[in-house]
């Protein structure tokens, strides 16, 4: 197997708090191959967005990426790149689409001009040509009246259209890695499906890898090759999509899958995971999921689980899974 495009190892991020530093991401390990789509799932507050921001080196102050962290992208150690080179990586090789596109679009510049700028950063083309390509890209991503919409300001566009502009911009940059953080959460179901389809098409045509953060298993099912499940700052299970969805091993993954609304179970209450995600700084000892876990036993309260390989494509950090694997 060739080296992965993105390799994250021991990624740790902390924030300053009243009593010392508090970790929000703790020794995260992830790998992503070229052309692959990895879904990163987990309840709100587990550290998914901070993980994504760390890859871009955009963790907001006073957040800090701890020294032992390693993020290797296309053979380069991102965490030791000079600031100017990192800016180049962000502007080109790694693209990002957020839940709220307003945070990434410049509110005082017409959307077309922003995409033209991205095009001209990557190809030395005259302004007229960049403009023509922008209108074309807007058509490709399904923006109606694209010749007129290029002159709109972000606030004049709906959420769905702004998200399409972000995808057009990503397509203009032709990134090798596209990070999408809840890209469809703010959109209604029909638009959501169209945006996912666009992201998937873009990835297939350009060969880009996609790191897709979502809490929607419908989204996972539609686009992911592999899935990583995050809980309280750590990865607790990872695997190929089909295997992980049909045979989740970690009780947390099982709980997440059970809380998906199912049409056939209409009227029945969702079987949700009891309790809430512990806040950073209040993570339980040993297995962090044990207070919420229906299967917890002594070892879960006293010993941190290690990675247990359950098949060539699936692994879990869980004592129960470990004991089953040994039996």
Ligand X SMILES: Nc1ncnc2c1ncn2[C@@H]1O[C@H](COP(=O)(O)OP(=O)(O)O)[C@@H](O)[C@H]1O
Residues that bind Mg ion (CB under 5 A): 48-49
Closer of 49 and 184 to ligand X (Cβ) = 49
Q: Does 44 bind ligand X (CB under 6 A)?
A: yes
User: 64-65 and 94-97 as β-strands: parallel, antiparallel, unpaired?
Assistant: unpaired
**CB of residue 47 vs ligand X: minimum separation in angstroms?**
4
Among 4, 35, 45, 218, binds ligand X (CB under 6 A): 45
Name residues whose C-beta falls within 8 Å of residue 271's C-beta, 6 or more positions apart in sequence. 255, 258, 259
Task: Render 79-139 in DSSP notation, one character per residue.
Answer: GGS-HHHHHHIIIIIEEEE-SSGGGTS-TTS-HHHHHHHHHHHHS---HHHHHHHHHHHHH
Q: Does 47 bind ligand X (CB under 6 A)?
A: yes
Closer of 48 and 250 to Mg ion (Cβ) = 48
What separation in angstroms does the CA of 78 have from each of 58, 87, 88, 252?
Answer: 12, 11, 11, 31
Contact at 8 Å (CB) between 169 and 114?
Answer: yes
Helices (H) and strands (E) in the chain, counts: 12, 13
Contact string 58-97 vs ligand X (x = CB under 6 A): --x--x----------------------------------
**CB of residue 50 vs Mg ion: minimum separation in angstroms?**
8
Q: Which stretch binds ligand X (CB under 6 A): 38-46, 67-75, 91-99, 150-158?
A: 38-46
Torsion sign over Cα 140, 142, 146, 150:
negative
Closer of 22 and 33 to ligand X (Cβ) = 22
Closer of 44 and 302 to ligand X (Cβ) = 44
**CB of residue 60 vs ligand X: minimum separation in angstroms?**
5
Contact at 8 Å (CB) between 33 and 209?
Answer: yes
Q: Does 20 bind ligand X (CB under 6 A)?
A: no
Q: Does 288 bind ligand X (CB under 6 A)?
A: no
Angle at which helix 189-206 crosses helix 159-173, to 10 degrees, equals 0
**CB of residue 317 vs Mg ion: minimum separation in angstroms?**
21
**CB of residue 48 vs Mg ion: minimum separation in angstroms?**
5
Q: Alpha helices of 12-104 — where are they, by DSSP H? A: 48-55, 83-88
Dist CA 277 CA 20 (whole Å)? 21
Q: Does 49 bind ligand X (CB under 6 A)?
A: yes
Number of residues that bind ligand X (CB under 6 A): 14
Closer of 138 and 217 to Mg ion (Cβ) = 217
Dist CA 325 CA 61 (whole Å)? 42
Applying CB under 6 A, the residues found at the interface with ligand X are: 15, 24, 42, 44-50, 60, 63, 279-280
């Amino acid at each position: 197997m060739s080296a992965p495009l993105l390799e994250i190892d021991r990624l740790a991020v902390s924030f300053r708090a009243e009593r010392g530093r508090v970790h929000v991401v703790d020794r995260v390990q992830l790998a992503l191959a070229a052309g692959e789509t990895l879904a990163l799932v987990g309840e709100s507050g587990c550290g998914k967005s901070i993980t994504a921001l760390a890859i871009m080196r955009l963790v907001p102050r006073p957040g800090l990426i701890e020294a032992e962290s390693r993020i290797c992208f296309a053979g380069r150690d991102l965490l030791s790149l000079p600031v100017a080179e990192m800016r180049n990586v962000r502007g080109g090789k790694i693209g990002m689409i957020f839940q709220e596109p307003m945070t990434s679009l410049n509110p005082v510049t017409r959307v077309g001009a922003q995409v033209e700028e991205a095009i001209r950063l990557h190809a030395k083309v005259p302004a007229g040509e960049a403009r023509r390509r922008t209108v074309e890209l807007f058509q490709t991503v399904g923006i109606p009246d694209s010749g007129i919409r290029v002159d709109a300001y972000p606030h004049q566009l709906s959420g769905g259209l702004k998200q399409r502009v972000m995808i057009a911009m990503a397509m203009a940059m032709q990134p090798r890695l596209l990070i999408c953080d809840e890209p469809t959460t703010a959109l209604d179901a029909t638009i959501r499906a169209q945006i996912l389809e666009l992201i998937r098409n873009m990835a297939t045509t350009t060969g880009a890898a996609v790191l897709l953060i979502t809490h929607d298993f419908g989204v996972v099912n539609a686009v992911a090759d592999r899935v990583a499940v995050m809980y309280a700052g750590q990865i607790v299970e990872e695997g190929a999509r089909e295997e992980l969805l049909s045979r989740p091993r970690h009780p947390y993954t099982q709980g997440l899958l059970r809380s998906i609304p199912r049409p056939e179970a209409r009227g029945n209450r969702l079987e949700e995971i009891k309790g809430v995600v512990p806040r950073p700084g209040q993570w339980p000892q040993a297995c962090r999921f044990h207070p919420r876990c229906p299967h917890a036993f002594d070892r879960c309260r006293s010993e941190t689980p290690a990675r247990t390989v359950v098949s060539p494509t699936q692994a879990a950090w869980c004592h129960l899974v470990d004991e089953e694997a040994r039996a």
